[in-house]
């Protein structure tokens, strides 16, 4: 679907071969800033998750080609976020598919953040030789964003103890399943922000603008605002608490904040007209 700045919705086409069982399906999209007509899609196809790409020209899709396959799929925890970094590489967030030990398995792409070239190759500078794995020990990352200094951040679903906002380091181990939330040890990297209990967050989409992260909360049914200074986070505050489950948040080119609800997924309380994309003006400053 394409949504213009007046809220008009146009169906562009379908991604062939997508399987939608459980939490799988069409999970993430990203256009390549260096090739703006090239669209990348993260989706469940068959028994795996894949990254495919196509050209979007004259309002329609071309042929789809596979960029990366072999990402485990499951009934839950399929990740799915795609984001191009300032280095021109594609960052891919995956989930551990309900198999926690896979998050620590460096031979598996599950429970990881991956870094690949636009053609799906392993780029120079990855922390593990010959591997697309950039960080590991993740349960289910659903949000990725870069700050003004080029640092990568990720929002991550916890289990029962804590949800997380993490600052991602190359080769970093974020502890799942041994650790959830802040562990205060040297073996794993602690989150910069944790939400406990998880009922106040269950974070999904993540966006950054003007020294602030915005985190869309599913179970928490609100939008979290997290100020950041020099890579350190301040106290989170929340707003947009009357729209139900929030799946995603994005900053538009005009600086407005777009927020997507997710009340018709079988876990929410749908209202008339759901689901919606909401547009908010951000205060100056």
What pTM, to 2 d.p., does this model score? Answer: 0.96
Give the pLDDT confidence score for residue 21 in this predicted structure: 84
SS3 content of the chain, % helix, strand, coil (to 5): 5, 45, 55
Report d(CA 155, CA 205) in Å as an integer: 7
The answer to whether 209 and 283 are in contact (CB under 8 A) is no
Q: Which domains does the chain have, with CATH numbers?
A: 2-196 (2.120.10.30), 203-285 (2.40.10.500)
pLDDT per residue as tens, the chain (285 positions): 888 878 888 999 899 999 978 899 999 999 999 999 999 999 999 999 999 999 999 888 999 999 999 999 999 999 999 999 999 999 999 999 999 999 999 999 999 999 999 999 999 999 999 999 999 999 999 999 999 999 999 999 999 899 999 999 999 999 999 999 998 788 999 999 999 998 999 999 999 999 999 999 999 999 999 999 988 999 999 999 999 999 999 999 999 999 999 999 888 999 999 999 999 998 765
Count CB-CB contacts under 10 A for residue 63: 9
Report d(CA 60, CA 87) in Å as an integer: 28
């Amino acid at each position: 679907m394409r949504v213009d700045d007046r809220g008009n919705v146009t169906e562009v086409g379908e991604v062939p071969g997508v399987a939608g069982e459980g939490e799988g399906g069409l999970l993430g999209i990203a256009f390549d800033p260096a090739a703006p007509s090239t669209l990348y899609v993260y989706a469940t196809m068959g028994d795996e998750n894949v990254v495919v790409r196509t050209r979007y020209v004259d309002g329609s899709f071309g042929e789809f080609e596979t960029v990366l396959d072999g990402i485990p799929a499951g009934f839950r925890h399929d990740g799915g976020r795609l984001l191009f970094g300032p280095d021109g590489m594609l960052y891919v967030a995956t989930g551990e598919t309900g198999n926690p030990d896979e998050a620590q398995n460096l031979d598996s792409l599950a429970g990881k953040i991956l870094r690949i070239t636009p053609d799906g190759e392993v780029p120079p500078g990855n922390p593990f030789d010959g591997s697309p794995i950039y960080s590991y020990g993740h349960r289910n990352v659903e949000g990725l964003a870069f700050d003004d200094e080029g640092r990568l951040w990720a929002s991550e679903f916890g289990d029962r103890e804590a949800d997380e906002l993490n600052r991602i380091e190359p080769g970093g181990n974020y502890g799942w399943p041994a650790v959830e939330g802040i562990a205060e040890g040297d073996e794993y990297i602690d989150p910069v922000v944790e939400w406990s209990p998880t009922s106040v967050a269950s974070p999904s989409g993540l966006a950054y603008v003007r020294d602030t992260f915005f985190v869309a909360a599913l179970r928490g049914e609100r939008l979290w605002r997290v100020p950041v200074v020099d890579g350190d986070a301040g106290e989170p505050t929340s707003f947009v608490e009357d729209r139900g489950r929030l799946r995603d948040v994005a900053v538009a080119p005009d600086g407005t904040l777009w927020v997507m609800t997710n009340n018709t997924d079988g876990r929410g309380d749908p209202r008339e007209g759901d689901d919606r994309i909401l547009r908010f003006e951000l205060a100056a400053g």
